[in-house]
């Protein structure tokens, strides 16, 4: 009776796949997250092998399996691939796949109801495989940490498999008790490293194929070169490219890709990457003049125009003050203000100089994107 009552709690319904024929306990499990859909490369091959070994029940010492990596590198995907594989091959397995947040919510709600029997029943006796996503979330939550510690002990002593994911390795999770940290790290701890260019490329091709979409090779190559490691962001870029191509009824091209990648590389990161020196270099390279000439006393047009453009770009892309920019070009700060106005006017008129500024901008952005 008690089980039924708590099962109708809104948090359970929200997460539960109640129509799942295999088990009522498959929560929050994404059916897309399978081993078949996971692209393997140097950064994740160890984690992939460990996940497969756990799915096959190969080694009792891989318990708990603890996967950690920064955001979007496939932690949840791999952990859920284990659960999906287990669910597929052994219908009797009771699998509980849950976010750390839901574990905490359920614990709190059972305490509020002054009845923890359902909680214990669910997490101890009704569970052959427990997957808790993002356990770093338990930092500072001492009471939940204590309950998790007991749950781990209970399940491990009965040979039940536990899987955790986290942004950090167990020893580096802040504000977490030593007892719990040592339990989290007592099985197999594996990191997923940022993905290399080849793997990013394979992922982009696989995701594009899954959407039955056509993407030119140079676009795939450009996006893969952007060094964006977060696969969720790569998927977002692909989705936006497909959507734009459909809405505008035009094929996906490099310009479109550059814009989408630039959106991901945030303004703050751009500012961090572009320095006065890199702007000077880019501008002098474009006008085929010496870098030092930009800070010289020369008033010749072939020097003063590049200098004005460089000062404008420094204002736009760096967080330097007018005084700092003036100093870098041996000018007064009123001269920086004047230069900015002049270049803005060229951009507004879209004349030859305006187009040149845009071209340099494009080159600078390309550099940011490719070196990010």
Closest approach, Cβ 22 to ligand ADP, in A, equals: 21
Among Mg ion, ligand ADP, none, partner that 189 touches (CB below 5 to 8 angstroms by kind) = none
Among the residues of the chain, which ranges form H helices? Answer: 2-7, 10-15, 45-55, 75-89, 100-112, 117-120, 142-157, 178-184, 197-210, 217-225, 231-248, 254-264, 267-273, 276-287, 301-317, 322-328, 333-349, 352-371
Phi, psi of 29 (to 5 degrees): -95, 120
CA angle 122–183–86, rounded 5-degree value = 50
Give the pair of three-digit tokens for residue 194.
Answer: 């940022």
Which of 201-213 are b and which e, b meaning 16 or more Cβ less than 10 Å from the residue's Cβ? bbbbeebbeeeee
Closest approach, Cβ 176 to ligand ADP, in A, equals: 19
Among Mg ion, ligand ADP, none, partner that 69 touches (CB below 5 to 8 angstroms by kind) = ligand ADP
Choose between 67 and 256: whose C-beta lies nearer to ligand ADP. 67
Choose between 39 and 305: whose C-beta lies nearer to ligand ADP. 39
Q: Which residue is nearest to ligand ADP (CB)?
A: 74
Choose between 28 and 335: whose C-beta lies nearer to ligand ADP. 28
Choose between 35 and 154: whose C-beta lies nearer to ligand ADP. 35
Closest approach, Cβ 99 to Mg ion, in A, equals: 8
Closest approach, Cβ 156 to ligand ADP, in A, equals: 24
Among ligand ADP, Mg ion, none, partner that 23 touches (CB below 5 to 8 angstroms by kind) = none
Q: Are strands 129-133 and 65-68 parallel, antiparallel or unpaired?
A: unpaired
Cα dist. 153→82, 120, 160, 369 in Å?
A: 21, 13, 10, 47
Choose between 76 and 335: whose C-beta lies nearer to Mg ion. 76
Q: From the centroid of its chain, how far is CA 32?
A: 18
Among Mg ion, ligand ADP, none, partner that 99 touches (CB below 5 to 8 angstroms by kind) = none
What distance in Å separates the CA atoms of residue 241 and residue 256, rounded to the nearest whole number?
7
| Residue ranges binding ligand ADP (CB under 6 A) | 33, 37-39, 44, 69, 71-77, 203, 231-232, 235
Q: Residues 6 or more apart from 160 whose CB is under 8 A from it?
A: 127, 128, 129, 130
Closest approach, Cβ 165 to Mg ion, in A, equals: 6
Choose between 76 and 199: whose C-beta lies nearer to Mg ion. 76
Among ligand ADP, Mg ion, none, partner that 214 touches (CB below 5 to 8 angstroms by kind) = none
Closest approach, Cβ 5 to ligand ADP, in A, equals: 32
Among ligand ADP, Mg ion, none, partner that 38 touches (CB below 5 to 8 angstroms by kind) = ligand ADP
Phi, psi of 65 (to 5 degrees): -90, 125
Choose between 63 and 76: whose C-beta lies nearer to Mg ion. 76
What are the beta bridge partners of residue 189?
66
Q: Which residue is nearest to Mg ion (CB)?
A: 76
Closest approach, Cβ 134 to Mg ion, in A, equals: 6
DSSP H/E element including 131: strand 129-133
Closest approach, Cβ 14 to ligand ADP, in A, equals: 18
Choose between 192 and 220: whose C-beta lies nearer to Mg ion. 192
What distance in Å separates the CA atoms of residue 43 and residue 70, rounded to the nearest whole number?
12
Residues 65-124 that bind Mg ion (CB under 5 A): 76
Contact 322, 337 (CB under 8 A): yes
What is the contact surface with Mg ion in residues (CB under 5 A)? 76
């Amino acid at each position: 009776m008690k089980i039924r009552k708590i099962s109708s709690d809104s948090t359970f319904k929200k997460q539960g796949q109640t129509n799942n024929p295999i088990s009522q306990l498959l929560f929050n499990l994404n059916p897309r997250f399978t081993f078949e859909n996971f692209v393997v490369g140097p950064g994740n091959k160890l984690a992939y092998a460990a996940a497969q070994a756990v799915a096959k029940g190969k080694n009792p010492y891989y318990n708990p399996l603890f996967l950690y990596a920064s955001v979007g590198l496939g932690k949840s995907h791999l952990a859920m691939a284990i659960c999906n594989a287990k669910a597929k091959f052994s219908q009797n397995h009771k699998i509980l796949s849950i976010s750390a947040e839901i574990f905490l919510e359920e614990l709190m709600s059972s305490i509020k109801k002054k009845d923890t029997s359902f909680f214990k029943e669910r997490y101890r006796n009704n569970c052959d495989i427990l997957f808790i996503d993002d356990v770093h979330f338990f930092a500072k939550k001492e009471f939940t940490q204590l309950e998790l510690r007991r749950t781990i002990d209970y399940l491990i002593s009965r040979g039940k498999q536990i899987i955790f994911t986290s942004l950090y390795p167990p020893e580096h999770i802040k504000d977490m008790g030593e007892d719990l940290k040592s339990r989290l790290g007592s099985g197999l701890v594996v990191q997923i490293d940022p993905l290399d260019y080849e793997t990013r490329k394979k992922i982009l091709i696989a995701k594009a194929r899954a959407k039955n979409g056509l993407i030119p090779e140079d676009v795939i190559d450009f996006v893969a070169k952007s060094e964006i490691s977060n696969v969720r962001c790569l998927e977002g870029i692909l989705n936006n490219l497909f959507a734009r191509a459909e809405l505008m009824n035009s094929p996906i091209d490099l310009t479109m890709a550059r814009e989408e990648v630039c959106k991901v590389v945030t303004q703050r990161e751009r500012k961090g990457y572009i320095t006065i020196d890199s702007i000077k270099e880019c501008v002098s390279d474009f006008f085929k003049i010496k870098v030092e000439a930009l800070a010289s006393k020369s008033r010749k047009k072939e020097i003063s125009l590049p200098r004005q453009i460089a000062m404008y770009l420094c204002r736009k892309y760096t967080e330097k003050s007018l005084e700092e920019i003036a100093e870098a070009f041996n000018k007064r700060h009123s001269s920086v203000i004047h230069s900015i106005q002049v270049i803005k006017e060229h951009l507004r008129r879209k004349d030859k100089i305006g187009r040149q500024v845009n071209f340099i901008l494009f080159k600078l952005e390309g550099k940011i994107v490719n070196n990010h």
